A and B are shown apart, each in its own frame.
Chain A
Amino acid sequence: MSPKKQTGKGRRNREKIIRFFFFGVALASITTLFLIALFLFVEGVPIFKVVSVSDFVFGKYWYPTDDPAAFGIFPLIIASIAVTLVSSVISIPLGVLTALYLAEGASAGVREWVKPIVELLAALPSVVIGFFGMVIVAPVLQEILNIPTGLNLFNASLMLAFMSIPTICSLSEDAIFGVPVELKEASLALGATHWETIARVIFPASISGICTAVILGMSRAMGETMVVLMVAGGAAMIPTSLFEPVRPMPASIAAEMAEAPFHSDHYYALFATAIVLFLFTLAFNVIAEQISHRYRQVGAATL
């Protein structure tokens, strides 16, 4: 046993321990995710002793503080879906077109200015956008459209759109940049214009990445809290027009949690609402994951 060999062994052991340590820390994210799910379920499931799962999800009346209380979150689910869909009608075209502009249309100099703008838009705190929607946009909407309140489904969707545009834009841009340059060159060499190349080659080649971007942007819109809390109007009813106040799930949770007595039915019901919201966003993320995994662009050969 030479001393040199021993140090070699010691070094190897130390390396193993360090590697194991990093592995342990890397599990923190998945552990946190697991803990989130666990605590939502522990604190949310007791409500199902009071109402059945289907009455909770499909119940049309949300009167958590009445006696007897009604715990039906169907209007809240519909409101969440409605603001997400309406906002995506605005954010998908704007986000994808801006991404195309950044990746294909803009010169390097312009790009250097537009990209930070999108990043700063992403950085605006949600409470500030909510505040803006409340004090600036709402009165304008109310006056122009002559409606009872400017705090409604449309206003909330508009504000949410500008929160999800940066997500859609930057992820789409990555996808467009990922298209192999040979494809673009081949198309241009065959005489296609730049636009024809974008429409028939670049866009189809990056469509899976763009879909992922859109789904993640919609997931962000659905989970966003402060904007819908301040701007959506707060009425727990199924909306019949774009300009009615609504109460999406995050708004209901954030507004009522402070008043719900600890471990009351209302408290459990809010955690159960969070379970539903969590499952929705989880589903969005898993779908996005599947798309980007299955249709991954490996090279020109996969086209």
Chain B
Amino acid sequence: MNGINHKEGVAFRRRFTQGAMFGFFRIAAVINGAALLVVVYFLVARGWRAINWTFLTQPPVDSMTKGGILPCIVGTLCLSVGAIVVALPIGVASAIYLNEYARPGRIVRIIRLGINNLAGVPSVVFGLFGLAFFVVYLDMGVSILAGSLTLGAMTLPVIIGSTEEALRGVPDTYREASLGLGATKWQTIRSVVLPAALPGILTGTILGLSRAAGETAPIMFTAAVFFTPSLPTSIFDEIMALPYHIYVLATAGTEIEATRPLQYGTALVLIVLVLGLNLIAIIYRSRLRKKR
């Protein structure tokens, strides 16, 4: 009798521990979800009132205490597209080398070490590098070009990572079939592997775009300025950008309290842009997976 009770007690304890631990897992996941929700909720609740047609289509007026954020939207689009123009060809080509051509060995290990460490470089260090190298040494000045190159260098590991994943997802039978038909390696990559990997590469590109759009520190000294009276006309112009605009209005203005609504509005526009791009990538990717 006693033994059975004891057995039941142990079984109960094991079940209880399991339930409690799985409860902790769930709580951790819920905290993450709550954090995301709280941030988005406050920005939407306090930002939506600031958003109207004027806000989205007019430049700031009265030393940035009124008016809109058009130059910032245009600037952020220029910079993030510029970053992708820099990072996409280099990133895809690097991934092709690593996944299709390279054999495991010391050289590949060094290249991977480079990519991993580049991914770990702090954003403000990219900013200083952009300032010293692109802005000053290559004499590009504070410009869209210098900012795009800096952001491009920062986005490179993201593009390489997602392209490699896409290339790994292409079954080897595709390659073997193409090579077996007499195609060369390059012909195989160009007409068989790349088209099959394209959707994955596209997802990575969208994620890279959103990453570049949200970064502040790399563009602080390389591309962005407090205020420009007109929209950019060339890649050598300095520009305004959404993330930098939020930072400036929230910390450096003379009317920090008065421009709060503008700050919330700008932050809302930025997260709609960034989270929107990410949602597109997530939904697109889950559709792709279901197709397979």
Which residues of A pack against B, CB within 8 Å? Answer: 11, 14-15, 18-19, 21-23, 25-33, 35-36, 39-40, 42-43, 93-94, 97-98, 100-102, 104-106, 112, 114, 116-121, 123-132, 134-136, 162, 165, 169, 193-196, 198-199, 216, 219-220, 222-226, 229-230, 250, 253-254, 257-258, 262, 270-271, 274, 277-278, 281-282, 284-286, 289
Chain A residues, Cβ within 8 Å of B157: 29
Which of the four size classes fits the interface of chain B?
Answer: 35 or more
In the assembled complex, the CB of A11 is this many whole angstroms from the nearest CB of chain B, namely 6
State whether B29 touches A114 (Cβ < 8 A): yes
Cβ distance A279 to chain B, nearest Cβ, rounded Å: 11
B120:A134 contact, CB within 8 angstroms: no
CB within 8 A of A25: which of B43, B90, B100, B216?
Answer: B90
Contact of B125 (CB < 8 Å), options: A29, A119, A219, A223: A223
Given known A-B contacts A105-B26, A127-B246, A250 and B122 have beta carbons under 8 A apart = yes
Q: Could you tell me if A121 and B221 are in contact, using CB atoms closer than 8 angstroms?
A: no
Expressed in whole angstroms, the minimum distance between the Cβ of B253 and any Cβ of chain A is 13
Task: Determine the residue in chain B with the shortest Cβ distance to A132.
Answer: B39
B interface, CB within 8 angstroms of A: 14-15, 17-18, 21-22, 24-29, 31-33, 35-36, 39, 42-43, 89-90, 93-94, 96-98, 100-102, 110-111, 113-118, 120-129, 131-133, 136-137, 153, 156-157, 160, 184-186, 207, 210-211, 213-217, 220-221, 243-244, 246-247, 250-251, 260, 263, 267, 270-271, 274-275, 278-279, 282, 286
Contact of B271 among A100, A125, A219 (CB under 8 A): A125
B124–A128 CB distance below 8 A: no
Given A40-B125, A97-B28, residue A230 in contact with residue B247 (CB < 8 A): yes
Given A98-B28, A123-B210, A253-B128, the answer on whether A281 and B122 have CB atoms closer than 8 Å is yes
Counting from the closest, the 10 A-B pairs by CB-CB distance are A223-B122, A125-B214, A30-B114, A101-B25, A97-B28, A195-B18, A26-B97, A25-B93, A22-B97, A225-B217
